């Protein structure tokens, strides 16, 4: 199976929105409430929010391609001196367990040859994703509780990957 990354732009907003809604509604109901899912999707994946994120000079969006089909998406920021932060790493649930995530992470590392570390936040109860990150070499750096609005708290691990 060929997995690659394709830069995403403003014209990809409908596709990213569709992927986000499908992924979140399939994956998160066992982790957070339906109300929180709807709120977070509206905050982070409205057309306006995505346009701002994709247009931000410090953030790059990628579509994860499995063959010629979009299987998910990533967003990453360069924090300087080889340090990066992954804001989004989402795969369609039909792609999970097939090696697509590990291949996408490997493709992401190839895009940033200066990378010496990358961080991301993941919900502490998102066991499948936490275990995936362990599998590709991340460790838990620390726990954090971040207010997100409307009374919601993101109870996350910040995870760290250091290039070997």
Extract the tokens encoding 4.
Answer: 């690659």
Distance CA 79, CA 30 (A): 33
What pLDDT score was predicted for residue 109?
97
Among 83, 99, 87, smallest CA distance to 132 is for 99
- Whether residue 79 has pLDDT greater than 90: yes
Has this prediction a pTM greater than 0.85? yes
Q: What is the pLDDT of residue 93?
A: 82
β-strands 59-66, 139-149 pairing: unpaired
d(CA 48, CA 13): 9
What is the β-pairing status of strands 83-91 and 117-123?
A: parallel
- Pick one of 3.40.50.970, 3.40.630.30, 3.30.450.80, 3.30.70.980 as the CATH number of 3-116: 3.40.630.30
pLDDT tens string 139-148: 999 999 999 9
> Quick one: average pLDDT of 64-87?
96
pLDDT digits (tens, 9 = 90+) for 11-53: 999 999 999 999 999 999 999 999 999 999 999 999 999 999 9
**Domain boundaries along the sequence of the chain:** 3-116
CA–CA distance, 76 with 47 (Å, rounded to integer): 19
């Amino acid at each position: 199976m060929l997995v690659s990354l394709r830069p995403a732009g403003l014209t990809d907003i409908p596709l990213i929105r569709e992927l986000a809604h499908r992924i979140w509604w399939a994956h998160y109901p066992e982790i957070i409430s339906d109300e929180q899912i709807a709120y977070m999707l509206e905050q982070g994946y409205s057309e306006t929010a995505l346009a701002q994120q994709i247009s931000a000079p410090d953030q790059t969006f990628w579509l994860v391609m499995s063959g010629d089909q979009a299987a998910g998406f990533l967003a990453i920021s360069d924090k300087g001196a080889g340090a990066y932060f992954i804001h989004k790493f989402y795969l369609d649930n039909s792609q999970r367990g097939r090696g697509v995530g590990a291949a996408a992470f490997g493709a992401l590392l190839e895009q940033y040859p200066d990378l010496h570390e990358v961080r991301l936040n993941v919900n502490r109860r998102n066991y499948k994703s936490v275990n995936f990150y362990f599998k590709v070499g991340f460790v838990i750096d620390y726990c954090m509780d971040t207010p997100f609005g409307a009374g919601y708290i993101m109870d996350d691990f910040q995870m760290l990957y250091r290039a070997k």
